[in-house]
């Protein structure tokens, strides 16, 4: 399999962490690519009409996107405990938490694009602040549900850790740990896992 990714992408990092945790990483060739909303990447566009990474090329020749679909696909390929829970209550709680983490990443990424890619004279600070409001509310909600991040490994732990890792990477000035001791403690422990260390964004 091939994973079309970028080292800085938190969405691609989720896939890499899941692959590492489930022993699938040796079966995946990592293919680095640069993707920005303002530059054409013909290869990515041909594989994913949305022009976004990650994209997984399976051994059957399928191009899978987005990161949620790829993670669930990979979770069907190993014989360890499932990272997408099957028991209904656990499943919907976990997927809701993972969606919150993904939404946090999306809002943070949009602010990154606004500030790092959009010409300064076109930047819209109120809009960026609105996105950062989503980030802050998501952080508060994650802190309130931090007990759901305990216990056996599941997809929401991975998604949350990658979202928080992205804030550390691109938004250090947010100082997200302030006032969020539960989340800070979760991240301190999760970030030490080999899967996280080896996928640290650069």
Ligand X SMILES: N[C@@H](CCC(=O)N[C@@H](CS)C(=O)NCC(=O)O)C(=O)O
Report the nearest approach of ligand X to the CB of residue 100 (Å). Answer: 13
Per CB under 6 A, does 199 bind ligand X?
no
* Cα–Cα distance, 52 to 55 (Å, whole number): 8
Compose the 73-102 pattern: x for residues touching ligand X by CB under 6 A, - for all others: -----------------------------x
The answer to whether the beta carbons of residues 2 and 64 sit under 8 Å apart is no
Based on the shown chain and the rule CB under 6 A, indicate whether residue 68 belongs to the binding site for ligand X: yes
Q: Is 104 in the site for ligand X (CB under 6 A)?
A: no
Shorter beta-carbon distance to ligand X: residue 9 or 20: 9
Q: How many CA atoms lie within 13 A of 53 on its CB side?
A: 24
Token pair for 97? 């938490």
Neighbours of 16 (CB within 10 A): 24
Please tell me whether residue 114 binds ligand X under the rule CB under 6 A: no
Task: Tell me, by CB under 6 A, how many residues bind ligand X.
Answer: 13
Region 28-57 residues binding ligand X, contact defined as CB under 6 A: 35, 37, 51-54
Q: Measured from the CB atom, is 9 or 94 closer to ligand X?
A: 9
């Amino acid at each position: 399999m091939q994973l079309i990714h970028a080292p800085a992408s938190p969405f691609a990092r989720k896939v890499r962490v899941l692959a590492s945790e489930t022993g699938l990483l040796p079966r995946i060739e990592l293919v680095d690519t640069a993707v920005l909303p303002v530059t054409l990447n013909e290869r990515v566009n041909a594989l994913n009409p949305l022009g976004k990474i990650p994209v997984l090329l399976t051994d059957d020749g399928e191009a899978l996107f987005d990161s949620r679909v790829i993670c669930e696909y990979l979770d069907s390929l190993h014989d360890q405990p499932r990272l997408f829970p099957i028991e209904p209550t656990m499943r919907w709680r976990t997927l809701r938490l993972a969606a919150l983490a993904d939404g946090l990443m999306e809002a943070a990424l949009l602010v990154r694009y606004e500030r790092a890619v959009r010409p300064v004279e076109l930047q819209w600070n109120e809009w960026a602040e609105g996105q950062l409001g989503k980030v802050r509310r998501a952080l508060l909600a994650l802190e309130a549900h931090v007990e759901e991040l305990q216990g056996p490994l599941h997809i929401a732990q991975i998604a949350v850790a990658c979202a928080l890792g992205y804030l550390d990477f691109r938004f250090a000035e947010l100082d997200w740990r302030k006032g969020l001791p539960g989340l800070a403690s979760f991240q301190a422990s999760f970030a030490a896992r080999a899967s996280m260390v080896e996928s640290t964004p650069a």
